[in-house]
Structure 1
Amino acid sequence: MNPGFNIFGFLVFYFFLFTNLFAETNPTHQYSCFQTNCISFDLPSRWFLTERRSNGIATKFDHFKTLPLKEESGREIIPALVILFKESENKLPLHPIIFHAESRRFSMITNVRNSFSLQKIPNVENSYKFLGIFGNFKDKEDIVLQHYITATEDKFGFTIIITCYESVYPQIEKDIRQFLDSLSWYTRPLPWKFKNPEEQISKAKELESSALDRLKTKKSEEISLALEELSDSCELGSASACEMFTLFMNLGR
């Protein structure tokens, strides 16, 4: 068994307090980074990260959802928001319009209701970072609404898909507007430089081990640092760190 889960029991209470404190002090602002690229956004705290995966080289995947929303009939529906970072297969720069068209395979939209663009690029006329469409498709007798959004930066492409049944969409419409209005791309310095894959694997293990040691202290400031280390280890490709980061971020829900 992964040693991180051996300490789960006695950390639940401390994480419950910490995550509730975090939600109260910073209820909406979130970000996700991969290598030098970051996407930031505002999303109400009822949305939570349910899965994070990264191969440490070319892809990273974040999946957010809410607790079930009830239709008038009583049926429960769970909206989903997915963010995908992906490096171009040929390592060459991506064209934003071509990438947007080719990535449509990830979207199920059959009826486009409107198109939009977000984050104006400074000093470039009529140019925006994010290209998006909003539309719907049918799932048996249900109408499902979907936002499909893409952006590119050099050899990296970003795809965002938000999916929700039309019957409960009014319950999250304000959330989605907040997300779209705040959506922003930015760069950061490259956090690590490795000579070979072995160095990267070693660093991922080092960060995960350090995080586990910090968790055992049960101190809120150490827990905060541990979550950052687990997130970094996950980004470098540690599947167990991804699982623990997601688990600990959602204790108390």
Structure 2
Amino acid sequence: MISAISQVNGTEERIRHKLEGFQTKLSQVIERINSYDYWYIKTNHNDIKIQILQTFQVANNYIDEILNYYNGLLEVYLTKASVYSVLPPKNVSELIFSANRKMPSNIRIVQELLLDTRIVENMTHIQVHAYFPIKDITKYTLIHVTPVPKKNMNNTFESIEVSRAFLAIDYNNELYFELDHEEFKECIQRHEQFLCFPGVVKNMQLNENCIVDQLFKNQTNTKCPTHIFEMSSNIIWKQLCMQNSWLFITKLVALYP
């Protein structure tokens, strides 16, 4: 767990400097006007008006920016809104990117899972704390377990029972975890990789798993629970995890001559 702190007082300091710049420009305009004894003759009225209007617009923008920040703070404080009421997603991403660069390569802050937003205040500072989970990123081989039925002599079929359809294996450290379909949907996909959040990671040697034994230990005589079924049709199609990939089961000896 980490708090990404947004220093709103820092923003106010930046805006204060801008307002000082506005005051300087306004003073320059006034000084320019006063420098003419007959300014109404020598100076273009429209030029003076445009300069004053431009300077006023700059000040108005700064004030709007301050109001937006305070409105965001009030929204977080009164309605339990998120940090995104104060900072846009781009700024939050920049803060998290900077924090991730200071952390070990296998540790990452997960921006997609904002847990909580809180405000801490004193006489001089207002801080917005955004809480994100930290994940230990270890590379696993993610496998969609699809049992291939075996045809018995009595024309029945036998298939291994799979309680969870997805199995992730770390061969180097002999670790694994399992995911069901709902847990897999919670994984965050990045191109061809998935960022998953397993509940329990198990050791292969200390926690027996017949499917892991077949994949990792290359054991075929495992005691996996199975179920036997009969086919009422000539062929059954089963969609696999990869797009446009299927497994079919047939009770015919051959589909093609």
TM-score bin (small chain): under 0.3
Higher relative contact order (CA 8 A, sep 6+): 1
TM-score, normalised with respect to structure 1: 0.20
TM-score, normalised with respect to structure 2: 0.20
Q: Is the strand fraction higher in 1 or 2?
A: 1
